[in-house]
Amino acid sequence: MPLKLVRDKEGRPDPAEFRIPASDVKGHNARQWFRCIPSMARQVEQILQSRQFPYRTKGDLLRHALHRHVRWLTSIEPVLKSISQQVDSMLEILRDEEMNNDFRVVFDRLAGRIDQYMSEGSQVEAIRLLMIIKSHIDDMPDGFWRDRYNKHLKKNYGDLLKKAPKCNLGEVDD
């Protein structure tokens, strides 16, 4: 039985379905090494370069592939059923923790860039960066994380965002 791909309202793959943490809740992990045929390695690179899926690294893709394959194996032979259910439950917790870490990293780095632009007197560049970030947030799937990013952006940079130039397409001449 094939696993179904969960998509957001815009039809894009849901990033939460693709995020398999590299470490457990205690920070433990195990490095895996293997060889594959060159055409498979090229396919992996093409998938990453296509940006059609929310993988950031080759490890992200391979962890996701291994996770899905183990789930498939346990669906056809229930020997590991209880283990895979426990792993799935732990992954949900870890996925949330990883999303929270990503949130903190994004806004810590953003704060550093905004502070630098403002100290240099480059408010226009700070606003430009905020508008780019806002655009990426708006492209996120609807839900908790998009709302959290937007709320934080508005809370911390709402005054700067209000200074962004507005575009009125209603007065465009032919």
Contact 75, 67 (CB under 8 A): no
What pTM did the predictor assign?
A: 0.49
What's the mean pLDDT when you consider all of the chain? 81
pLDDT tens digits for range 96-154: 777 888 888 889 999 999 999 999 999 889 999 999 999 888 888 788 888 999 999 99
Closest CA to 32 of 58, 3, 14, 4: 58
Domain ranges of the chain: 15-21+35-76, 95-162
pLDDT tens digits for range 69-92: 887 877 777 665 566 667 777 777
